[in-house]
Structure formats: structure tokens, C-alpha cells
Structure 1
């Protein structure tokens, strides 16, 4: 489905607002390619805008690619490597039917290889494509030499994890509670498949017994969308009533019991959330600027998880294979 121009423009107005100057204790720098590939940001922005204009969902998909890459082996583009069902991260349960947008990264890489041959890493392309043209992304990552299937299978947060498990998985990569909640705000855009939330709609025997934290006014609608006899591939917006706008409405939904994924709703509704994440959900729901600032901070922080720098790794010519 083609993007509505108004939503497309509003999305980029919001993302353009997210500008932050930060310092990180590593050797990455926002000016890494200023001499070797000065048109880098312009190229990435053009290709990303084209992809989103064709399909608004792609904004969320590119965010997800960067997130899922950084949580495994650090931000080294290992997620992009092709392979078989026992080696490639693409085949891990958390990626197989949800990670998408690889072809957008391929397109960007092709353009850059024609203008800046062998210069820009796939890992840096992922970081910029996830929203980077609209804040100062630190650059200089190199690409990893191996995928980590088991890491993707076990290390990625899932829609079914309890809150303490989610927090633990974030802490394992150096992220904190603020990062948990602010990065969950990426679900302000994008879609979810029925398989990621139909456990909240009925018992496993198919009888209707929905999750009590789910707003009862939307249960029937979701049950019709996701009948127990379906393949689970139907989709619906993660942020109901604010589908294509990157805003703080997602957190308002959580307060009203309208978070689609269990892993989102527990940020507010879980007993464990009372002393951890609930206050942040309430704060973000009332103050969009506070959310935007924290989101940018967390994105930059996430983008600096264990980067390969210096002579480590390589600059892949094709993001799907090792040179």
C-alpha cells in the first residue's frame, strides 16, 4: 500500500526533531566519512525515504534490523549475512518471519559501492538507515566475519518474555531500564503478526479467555483478525489509532491496556513494572519531548554496543557475504 504523503512528511518532521550531540567512550565519530564518502548521509536518506514512501512500514523494519543486529555480536551487520537455517541469524526464531528490509540495505550498499568503493561498512549503513540522518550517529564500525545463530535465538527479547527477562537481556548488552522503555517506543510505528500476540486472545485450546490486561473493547476485533484456525500471518498496527506517526501515543495505549504485545503491555501492567518501568511509561505518555530525547539517547547508546573498529572485521563489498 502506498504511503499517505501527510504521514510520510509528519514522520520525517518528528525524526528531524530528534537531534542530539553526545559523546561516547569509543573511537566512533560522527565525521568518520566526511572526507572518504562525503555524500553518505545524503545517499542513505534518499534511499530510505524512497523505500518508506513506497511502504511506510519500512521505517519500523529498518529500526528493527538495527536493533536485532546490535543485540547479537554487537553492531557488526552479522544479521545481514546469508547462510543456512543453522548458521544465519536470519533464520533464528526472532528474525525468520519478522526481520525485513534487507533489500533496502542492499540498495544503499550498491549505490555507495559505486561512489565510495570499499569505504562504508554495512554496520554503519544499518545505523544510519534506522533513523540516523536525523541525529548525529557515531560512525566507524566495521563488519563482522561470522553470524551467531544461537545468539539470535537466545539473546533477542521476544514478545513473550516476562519483564525481568527483557530487562536482563538489555542489561546483558549494556542497556538499562530507560533504554528498555524508550526503545520499546519504536513500536509507535510498524505492524505485528497475529503469532506475536494471539496468545493474549484465547487459551491454547482455542476457547476465548483473553489476557486480563488487554482492553476488552478490542478483544473481539483482534480475535476476528486472528482466528485460531489461521496461519497467524495477518498483521495489525502496533500503535492503534496512531499507525504511521512516530509519537508518544504508544505509551498512552499502554496506560489504557491497549498495548498489542504482551512484552509492551507489561512495561506498565506487570507487578514488576511498579518499581521499574511504569513511571517511565507515564512520563513518556505525558511528555513527548522527554520520550524523543531518551529515544535518541538510547538509539545512539544501542548503536555503540561492541562495535568492531580499527583493523577488526572488514568492510564487506556485499552485505550478505564475507569478502
Structure 2
């Protein structure tokens, strides 16, 4: 029964996703030629005032694509009895939605009814990486926006407590490989984590030890100081010491036993993922090339039906 249940869950998830063959880098060349510059300005203006914006936009895009494809369903507000994705437990810490609102307003003013919110989010995520010192790439465009957003479906998101088998299954259900898993995990080079995402490694780890023995002892001690058992609601730490710069230090930290999440450490638990992590730790160029490939692949998972006039509500 357990095997049958897992199979049905996989089939249900896969039914939400498709890889779009109609996306193209010049999709708006005639209908909205300035779309990329308008979005870039909105992201740059917001990031100038808040250094947390780039990490927030990258994470937002990832969380969008893993639920029903990259259809901007994460942007929809809850309405009445319907609790939307953004209010699901894994997403309550998402922020900077106003940046997408600002970009959409600018784009609608220039070319109303043309550009989807899903495309705006995909482009904003790319611009966020660039603003953080990371690579640029041509974002395929032509996504449509979804009309369904359910908080209950956010349980499908890969959790920071996942082991390598759970991660592999989660990515595979979306047509993403182990190569994609390791490359996209590098997005953890940006941002901040609340204590709740890694408390399992520093408090009551198992029946014999309180702290994950694979954590660097001094690093674990610093985490415990920041995140005591009854920690402040918003307490946490930067994902890495250079958490506003897009680099390959994340992979180096994994091998130094200073990665925050169980899911980060899990990359060392399979030969292929460990070798890829080592490759990226030793070469930023190799990491950025792989990251670009995997971002394009992930962001090409589609599932929408319309172009919203307002990213927070369906038409």
C-alpha cells in the first residue's frame, strides 16, 4: 500500500508539470521590447534599499516552479476560505512580493495585458543573481499564469530536513536530475535562514546526541548560541559568510562541515552528488555554468493558463 500511495503521489505531482516547447528568448521582441529593462530597474531599485531582495526573489522563483510549474501561483493572495501557496508553512517566510508588483505595474503601463507574472518572476530571479555578482543568461519567455494556488500543496516542496533519497525523488518528480539538484542547491549561497530550518541538527538530533555529529563543533556551538531551544521567532543566521554575493562558497562550506541544512549535508551522502559538489567547490566557473543550465531547465516547467492583469489575483 505504501508503494502504491507513493506512486499515486508521484503521478499526481507529475500531472501538474510540463516542459514548454513554445518558450523563446525573443518572445516579447515585438509586443513588449523593453520588458527586461523595466523588470531589471524594479529589481535594482528594490535591492538598493534592501540587500535581502535578491535572495528573496531567487527563492520565490524556486518555490513557484516546484508547485504546479513556473506559473506565478506563489504570487496569488489567499481569498475567502482558499488559503494560497504564499500562506503555506514553507512559504510564510517568503517576502519582497512588492518587487514583482512594482515590475508588473511598470510593464503593464508600457504594454498592457502582454507579459505574464510568471515571466516577470523568472526574469526578476535572473536579475537578482546578476545583481549579487552572479552570471546572466537568456531567460526563455512565454509562460502563462496559473489560476490555482493551494497552501496544502506546499508540502510538496523539498524540505531542509530531507535526506539525499528524498531530495532525489522530489527533483525527479519535476524532471530534474541529480546534476540539477546539486547545481540548484548552490542558490543557498544567498540569503538568511531562520533557526527552525536547521534546529533539528543542533537540538535533540537523535536519542544519543543533541547535535548532529557531522557538524563542525565550533560552528554547531555558534548556531546553538544564536538559536537556543526557546529561540526568538525571527532568529537565524546568514546562509554563508558572503550571503549577499553569488559565489561557490556554499560548496566549500559543505566540505568544512559548516552547511546549515540536513539537505545541504546530504549532498555528501551519494558519490555522484559529492563529486559534483567537490567540482563546484573547486571551480566557480563550473558551478555557474551548471547553475545556468539548471535554472533554464527548471524555469521551463510550465503550467499556466492566462496573463494576469494583477499578479495577486486571477483575471
Secondary structure, aligned partner of 1:264: helix
Aligned structure 1 segments of 4 or more residues deviating by more than 2 angstroms = 84-87, 148-151
User: TM-score if structure 2 supplies the norm length?
Assistant: 0.87
Take 1:32 and 1:220, find their aligned partners in 2: how far apart are those partners? 51
1:120 alignment counterpart? 115
Take 2:303 and 2:292, find their aligned partners in 1: how far apart are those partners? 18
Whether 1:320 and 2:315 are equivalent positions in the alignment is no
Quick check: 1:144–1:314 contact (8 Å CA) kept in 2?
yes
Quick check: 2:146–2:303 contact (8 Å CA) kept in 1?
no
- Deviation at 1:48? 0.7
1:186 alignment counterpart? 187
Whether 1:48 and 2:48 are equivalent positions in the alignment is no
Take 2:176 and 2:292, find their aligned partners in 1: how far apart are those partners? 13
**Equivalent runs, 1:1-323 vs 2, <5 Å:** 26-84=21-79, 86-96=82-92, 98-132=93-127, 134-153=136-155, 155-203=156-204, 209-239=210-240, 241-268=241-268, 270=269, 273=270, 275-308=271-304, 313-323=305-315
Cα gap change, 1:136/1:87 in structure 2, threshold over 3 Å: closer, same or farther? same
Quick check: 1:201–1:208 contact (8 Å CA) kept in 2?
no
Quick check: 2:68–2:302 contact (8 Å CA) kept in 1?
yes
- Deviation at 1:59? 0.7
Take 1:303 and 1:40, find their aligned partners in 2: how far apart are those partners? 18
Cα gap change, 1:204/1:180 in structure 2, threshold over 3 Å: closer, same or farther? closer
- Deviation at 1:86? 5.0
Quick check: 2:20–2:301 contact (8 Å CA) kept in 1?
no
Take 1:53 and 1:25, find their aligned partners in 2: how far apart are those partners? 34
User: TM-score if structure 1 supplies the norm length?
Assistant: 0.85
Q: Deviations over 1:146-185 (max 9, x none)?
A: 11333222x1101111111111010001100011010000
Take 1:138 and 1:72, find their aligned partners in 2: how far apart are those partners? 19
- Deviation at 1:297? 0.4
Take 1:64 and 1:188, find their aligned partners in 2: how far apart are those partners? 11
Q: Deviations over 1:268-308 (max 9, x none)?
A: 2x3xx2x2310001000011111000000000000011344
- Deviation at 1:191? 0.5
Take 1:321 and 1:186, find their aligned partners in 2: how far apart are those partners? 28
Take 2:205 and 2:173, find their aligned partners in 1: how far apart are those partners? 32
5+ residue gaps, structure 1:
1-23
5+ residue gaps, structure 2:
1-18, 131-135
CA RMSD between the two structures? 2.0
